């Protein structure tokens, strides 16, 4: 197997786990260390992407442009990527991000909505950026649908299309099936982004590489939404054990995870009841903090809210639905 291109997304996906509170100084420190470790790509933005600092998604403590500015200033030989979610971000944000010096735009949509991404891929290309398509909540659709959506993204200008396990709901067999089908359907690179709700983030990532994934993601210490992501340092260690040479300095990664990232954790990212329920029900990981707040407000079990969101097939961007679900569950409880 060839070595995949690894993107460390601590400074984007990890933002969810710390309520979007990364400081410019923290970003500069992590980026400089990742650059020292020869990390190919480093993703930096609000957890929900450019323009994501909103009342619905959660306000950033620090302006994300100051974070991107620090990332670009300290990137060394690495490339800086930012996430973009249509509807949260707009085309002017893409232009501005390019002017700030990012290298790659990762355009993320629900895995059946690739048809809304064309203008954003075109704008990114016009701005001189590399482009990645993110098919979120990929567990909700069969492989053939993902392949069709990936073809659309490729036709719009995506340099790579990711199968994204936003809920940590996939298992190795379903990862292999989806990645292999997408790989057979497009001529550009294929990527995979894992979450750890069922304890399979590393196993699923390896399954994706075995199925032909060219790019994969991780975060230091696994810091990310829900139960977190595939820990970058563990991923590199496992690839080393498999004699797959990434060129990344494992010692620097481990030191950075231990000394810089671990102290910012608000709570341990463990496979607790809420996180397992989120993966099992297939609920978008960034919902979890909102679910816990709603559960406390209405004196409900968080799992009950998670299960109902799963039954209603909630997707990214429907965070405001969480309160409605909690209110409905409380009303039913009161009439019993």
Residue 13 in marked binding region: yes
Angle at alpha carbon of residue 53, lines to 77 and 274, rounded to 5°? 95
> What is the predicted pLDDT for the residue at 275?
86
pLDDT of 321 above 80:
no
Catalytic residue among 16, 46, 110, 139: 16
* The model's pTM: 0.92
> What is the predicted pLDDT for the residue at 55?
63
Domains of the chain: 5-263 (3.20.20.70), 273-335 (1.10.8.60)
When the pLDDT of each residue in the chain is averaged and rounded to a whole number, the result is 93
Residue 184 in marked binding region: no
Q: Is 313 a catalytic residue?
A: no
Sign of CA dihedral 4, 7, 8, 14: negative
> What is the predicted pLDDT for the residue at 143?
98
- At 18, list the tokens: 């710390």
pLDDT digit string, tens, across residues 203-219:
999 999 999 999 999 99
DSSP state of 207: H
For residue 318, which of 170, 47, 14, 110 has the smallest C-alpha distance?
Answer: 110
**How distant, in Å, are the alpha carbons of 27, 39, 263 from that of 67?**
6, 18, 19
Residue 106 in marked binding region: no
pLDDT digit string, tens, across residues 145-170:
999 999 999 999 999 999 999 999 99
């Amino acid at each position: 197997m060839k070595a995949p291109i690894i993107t460390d997304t601590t400074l984007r996906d990890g933002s969810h786990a710390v309520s979007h509170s990364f400081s410019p100084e923290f970003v500069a420190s992590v980026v400089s260390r990742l650059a020292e470790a020869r990390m190919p790509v480093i993703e930096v933005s609000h957890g929900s992407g450019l323009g994501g600092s909103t009342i619905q998604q959660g306000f950033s403590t620090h302006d994300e442009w100051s974070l991107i500015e620090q990332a670009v200033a300290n990137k060394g030989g690495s490339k800086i990527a930012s996430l973009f979610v249509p509807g949260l971000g707009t085309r002017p944000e893409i232009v501005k991000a390019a002017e700030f010096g990012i290298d790659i735009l990762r355009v993320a949509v629900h895995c059946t909505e690739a048809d809304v991404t064309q203008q954003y891929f075109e704008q990114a290309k016009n701005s001189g950026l590399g482009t990645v398509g993110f098919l979120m909540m990929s567990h909700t659709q069969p492989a053939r649908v993902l392949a069709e959506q990936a073809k659309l993204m490729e036709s719009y200008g995506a340099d790579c299309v990711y199968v994204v396990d936003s809920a940590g709901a996939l298992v190795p067999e379903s990862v292999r099936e989806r990645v292999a089908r997408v790989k057979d359907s497009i001529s550009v690179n294929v990527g995979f982004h894992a979450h750890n709700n069922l304890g399979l983030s590393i196993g699923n990532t390896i399954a994706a590489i075995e199925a032909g994934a060219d790019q994969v993601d991780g975060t230091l210490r696994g810091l990310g939404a829900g139960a977190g992501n595939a820990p970058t340092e563990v991923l590199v260690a496992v690839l080393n054990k498999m004699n797959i040479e990434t060129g990344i300095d494992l010692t620097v990664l481990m030191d950075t995870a231990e000394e810089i990232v671990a102290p910012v954790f608000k709570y341990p990212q463990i496979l607790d009841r809420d996180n397992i329920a989120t993966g099992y029900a297939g609920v978008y990981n960034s919902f979890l903090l909102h679910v816990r707040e709603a559960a406390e407000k209405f004196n409900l079990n968080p799992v009950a809210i998670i299960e109902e969101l799963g039954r209603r097939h909630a997707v990214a961007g429907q965070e405001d639905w969480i309160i409605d679900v909690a209110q409905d569950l409380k009303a039913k409880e009161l009439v019993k």
